[in-house]
Amino acid sequence: MDLNDPRPLHDQVAEAIRRAVAEGSYAPGDRLPPARDLAEALGINANTVLRALRDLRDEGVLEFRRGRGVSVLSRPDPRSVLEERLRSLLAEAGQYGYGHDDVIDLIREIS
């Protein structure tokens, strides 16, 4: 987690899980570690992780089953994953004084 990132921690956690699922680290049907374990590994509050998990449940990425924990329901839409990463990139670029057009120019330069 990046404490300098202007986005709330629960959004950062949700993005990291969404990306892991999209990249295949977790497949549909796989169970995630308990929220308490994730929170401890990330050094954040368990309620922050739970909020991220609930957001992903509401998006249809995860499902909660009593007694069975949290499992991956589906892979997120690749476009939504890219959109989230772009939002993060634009927010970080803004911290350095770069605007949207500056980022687009940088992308054109490196591609």
Render pLDDT for 61-106 as a digit per residue (tens, 0 to 9): 999 988 889 999 877 677 777 887 888 889 889 989 999 999 999 9
Nearest to 13 by CA among 89, 27, 31, 43: 43
Residue with tokens 């954040």: 44
Nearest to 70 by CA among 90, 86, 56: 56
**Is the pLDDT reported for residue 32 higher than 80?**
yes
* Predicted local confidence at residue 97, as pLDDT: 94
Listed by start position, the domains of the chain span: 9-72, 78-110
Render pLDDT for 38-57 as a digit per residue (tens, 0 to 9): 999 999 999 999 999 999 99
* Neighbouring C-beta atoms of residue 15, cutoff 10 Å: 19
Stretch (H or E) spanning 79: helix 78-95
* Predicted local confidence at residue 59, as pLDDT: 85
* Predicted local confidence at residue 92, as pLDDT: 86
Answer for the pair 62, 76: CB distance below 8 angstroms, yes or no: no
| Topology of the domain covering 9-72 | Arc Repressor Mutant, subunit A (1.10.10)
